[in-house]
Amino acid sequence: MAAASIARRATMLDFAFEDSTVYGHLTDDELLQMAIERSLSEDQKGPSEYAQASFIPASEPSKEEHIPTEARQEYAARQNAALQTQRAAAAENPEANPSSHAPSIKAAIWNDDAKTLKQILMKEPAESLNKPNEEGWIHLHDAAYYNAVECLKLLLQAFPDLVNKRNDKNQTPLLVAVGYKNLACVKVLIDAGGDPNIANRAGETAVYKACEKGSEEILDAVLKAGGNATRANIERFTPLHEAADTKNVNMVKMLVEAGAKTCTKDCNGVEPLFTAAQCGAVEVLNYFIKLGENINTQANDGATALYEASKNGHEECVKILLSKGADVNRTTILGLTPLHAASKNGHVNVVLLLLPLTNKGMITRSGISPLHLAAESNQDQILEILIQEGFGVNLQLSTEYSNMYEDRRSTVLYFAVKAGNVEAASMLLQAGADPNLDVFNPVLVAVRKGNKEMVSLLVEYGANVNACIPTHPTTFPAAMLFCMKHRNMFKMLLDNGLDADACFDCVYGNNRHPPVKIHRSSGDNLYLHGLMAPHTSTAQFCEVMADPVNSPWVGTILDMLLDYTVHVKLCSRLSNLLDNNSKSQSIKDKAKPPFPLLHLCRVNIRKQVGHQRMRQMTSLPLPKCLIRFLVYDNSESENLSQCGC
């Protein structure tokens, strides 16, 4: 019993990639017998056949296409080598082979051993031989699956009435044989009365499966046997759709000659010509066009064959459709043109084909530009092409499209900033993109992401660093919310015009402050993520600084802010927050008059010059120490008094 248990475990490991329901009902002795006969059979299948027979689960043939060919071949080669080793070991010790004592019908079918099968059929009662397994499979299904032609003939001779027996998935032996491209078995089953028009649960007949598997020989056989060339599956996908999808023009012609209707639509409104364009089947597409099919056919969502070919980058199909007069400006129900689809998916050559024929007015009316989609997908080359072609860089999304995004974005620039694509943002800004058109200013996105290069680029082109968040208003610039812990980013914003004065405009002053409520948001959005007033109120700077997340930085932040402002007062809340800081007294003194004359001069000069012109300060013929002083450059010890200014 122990030996049988070990053999069972070893055998099931050997069958690890097979469906357990196929062998789960076998006894220990049957599994042991099957394993030995696999290794000793003189007619053992080669690697490719073994891969087909053992790697693909018999109870779920539809999964074959999901298993990579390389994995199937690798496993088959490994298993075949192991079987050869077992065979050599068994040959050296013949007495260890008990195969003659307990022949198995499974092993006989596996090896297509008709002689052994005949012996079993003569001894076993028909009831036990035809008992289905848990998946409804009988031995006829197994023979069709393993391409055991001789055993199949013998079983059909013994049980002719079972030729169209169906398993739990409504598969007949013929459907199984077609599904695994076992042509010899298909012919045997057809000759024995196999019905090619019985469909499985998915509505797929032998004709459909032959097209799905791309087998011209099997398709010819089942059509000659009376297979229906027009019958669709439950999704109304016809054999002609499948043949187009496999790019097999010969099968398409066979089906058309057998009466298949070329204009039939599936449940998505897709015709076979549409399928051919969608998958890049050039020969099939040409054939349908010669038959006079409608090249502007549209699916239920409004997509045309040209749209699908453009979306998938099938350049030859696009050329064919355009040469035959396909409407390049016909849109989907969302207003998208083929140019939109090609731009989003980065198909440069297709974009170049479509551009001369696309109506820019149609693009404007669509509510979204190909520029938006190219920027969203980081398609820089296409973005550059579209800009050169004159597509407006400030075209905003329609309200309907904008509402599809939580942040209500609208400009192409916002898409580029959101993607962190500095190169794309630079192209757009150089072409005239306005950085202040979106509801949520792109500079806030860049600050939130900590992208200093992007922030610098945006402020160079006039981005408003004092922008607020409409949904969560504050009395101070919203950008501060996203850089409390990032000193360099905070200073960059202050250098570029961040309004420091607004941080000290507290309505309560030295009076007692009411408690604040907590509102935290998750995800990469632009909402406040700290303590704040209720949504109906406007949050003040001191309320945000009271957040335990921000309060440890209150000393550093106030120290920096006071360098950029004068004549401000600390409210009672800020003063209380400072009490726990080691630099509390020095910061409080810094906020009190009298203020140093140099400090007053620097702040006033910066306000008079403006932050945009301050960026050009280094180009002026001024003493270096003065420039460093005005731009808060404290990297060197040299100051105005030392240089004699």
Query: For residue 413, is it within any domain?
Result: no
Judge whether residue 619 has pLDDT over 90: no
Which range (246-255, 312-321, 530-539) has the least confidence? Answer: 530-539
Instruction: Please check whether residues 184 and 262 belong to one and the same domain.
Output: no
Q: State residue 337's pLDDT score.
A: 96
> For position 520, what pLDDT does the model report?
54
pLDDT per residue as tens digits for the range 346-385: 999 999 999 999 999 889 889 999 999 999 999 999 999 9
Ranges 104-113, 165-174, 295-304, 389-398: which has the least confidence: 104-113
**Domain final residue pick, 215, 243, 269:** 215
Give the tens place of pLDDT for each residue, 375-386: 999 999 999 999
Where does the pLDDT of residue 303 fall: very low under 50, low under 70, confident under 90, or very high at 90 and above?
very high
> Is the model's pLDDT at 521 over the cut of 90?
no
Question: Average model confidence (pLDDT) for the chain?
Answer: 82
Output 507 or 36, whichever has higher pLDDT: 507
Q: In the prediction, which pLDDT does 432 show?
A: 96
Same domain, 198 and 68: yes
Q: What pLDDT sits at residue 397?
A: 96
Closest alpha carbon to 276 in 259, 256, 257, 258: 256
3-state secondary structure 153-176: HHHHHHCHHHCCCCCCCCCCHHHH
Tally of domains in the chain = 3
Under the banding of pLDDT at 50, 70 and 90, the label for residue 97 is very low
Mean pLDDT of 188-215: 96
Residues 537 and 597 in one domain: yes
Average pLDDT over residues 486-499: 90
Mean pLDDT of 148-154: 95
* pLDDT above 80: residue 4: no
* Residue 63 pLDDT > 50: no
* pLDDT greater than 90 at residue 420: yes
* pLDDT score, position 499: 92
Same domain, 240 and 289: yes
**pLDDT computed for residue 262 by the predictor:** 95
The mean per-residue pLDDT over the stretch 405-431 comes to: 96
Confirm whether 640 is domain-assigned.
Answer: no
- Average pLDDT of the segment spanning 111-139: 87
pLDDT at position 634 is 64
User: Would you state the pLDDT for residue 645?
Assistant: 53
71-85, 136-150, 502-516, range with the lowest pLDDT? 71-85
323 pLDDT band (50/70/90 cuts)? very high
Is the separation of the CB atoms in 186 and 218 below 8 Å? yes
CATH code, domain carrying 240: 1.25.40.20
> In 3D, which of 110, 50, 43 has the Cα closest to residue 81?
50
- The gap from C-alpha 163 to its chain's centroid, in whole angstroms, comes to 44
- Same domain? For 256 and 171 the reply is no
22 has a pLDDT exceeding 50: no
Angle, alpha carbons 149-153-155 (nearest 5°): 115
What average pLDDT does range 575-579 have in this prediction? 89
Nearest CA among 517, 586, 573, 578 for reference residue 553: 578
Cα 348 to Cα 472: distance, rounded to the nearest angstrom: 41
Q: Examine residue 450 and state whether it is found in any structural domain, yes or no.
A: no
Q: What is the pLDDT of residue 88?
A: 52
Q: What does the alpha-carbon distance between residue 433 and residue 411 come to, in Å, rounded to a whole number? A: 9
Structure confidence at residue 37 (pLDDT):
45
Residue 641's contacts (CB-CB under 8 Å, 6 or more residues apart) are none
pLDDT tens across 462-472, in order? 999 999 988 88
In a domain, 15, yes or no: yes
- Residue 69: what pLDDT? 43
- Residue 5's pLDDT band (cuts 50, 70, 90): very low
Asked if residue 447 is part of any domain, the answer here is no
The token duo for 425 is 């943002």
Report for 101-110, 115-124, 329-338, 630-639: range of highest mean pLDDT: 329-338
Q: Is the pLDDT of residue 77 over 70?
A: no
Residues 195 and 269 in one domain: no
What is the C-alpha separation between 526 and 522, in angstroms, rounded?
10
Higher-confidence residue of 607 and 44: namely 607
Co-location of 267 and 184 in the same domain: no
Domain that holds residue 56: 1-215
Looking at the fold, whether 187 and 238 belong to one and the same domain comes out as no
Distance, in Å, from the CA atom of 564 to the CA atom of 514, rounded to the nearest integer, reads: 28
* Whether 495 contacts 611, CB under 8 Å: yes
What pTM, to 2 d.p., does this model score?
0.75
The pLDDT, as a whole number, for residue 448 is: 93
Same domain, 242 and 208: no
Query: Do residues 148 and 207 share a domain?
Result: yes
Question: Alpha carbon of 303 to those of 271, 294, 298, 357: distances in Å?
Answer: 12, 14, 5, 18
How many whole angstroms separate alpha carbon 328 and alpha carbon 336?
11
- 206 and 251 both lie in a single domain: no
Q: Residues 6 or more apart from 79 whose CB is under 8 A from it? A: 14, 50, 54
Domain end, chosen from 277, 306, 339, is at: 339
Q: Is the pLDDT of residue 280 over 60?
A: yes
- pLDDT exceeding 70 applies to what percent of the chain? 78
Least confident stretch, 261-270, 272-281, 554-563: 554-563
Q: Is pLDDT at 86 greater than 60 in this prediction? A: no
Q: What is the pLDDT of residue 643?
A: 57
Mean pLDDT of 491-520: 85
Cα-based distances in Å from 154 to 115, 132, 150, 359: 10, 18, 6, 68
Lowest mean pLDDT among 477-486, 553-562, 631-640: 631-640
Q: Is 398 contained in some domain? A: no
User: Position 595: which residue type?
Assistant: F
**pLDDT value of position 602:** 81
Query: Is residue 506's pLDDT more than 70?
Result: yes
Quick check: is 381 in a domain?
Answer: no
The answer on 202 and 55 residing in a single domain is yes
Query: Among 57-61, 313-317, 422-426, 636-640, which is the least confidently predicted range?
Result: 57-61
| Confidence (pLDDT) at 81 | 54
**9 Cβ partners below 8 Å, 6+ apart?**
none
Specify the residue for token string 């202040």.
436
Is residue 513, in this structure, part of any structural domain at all? yes
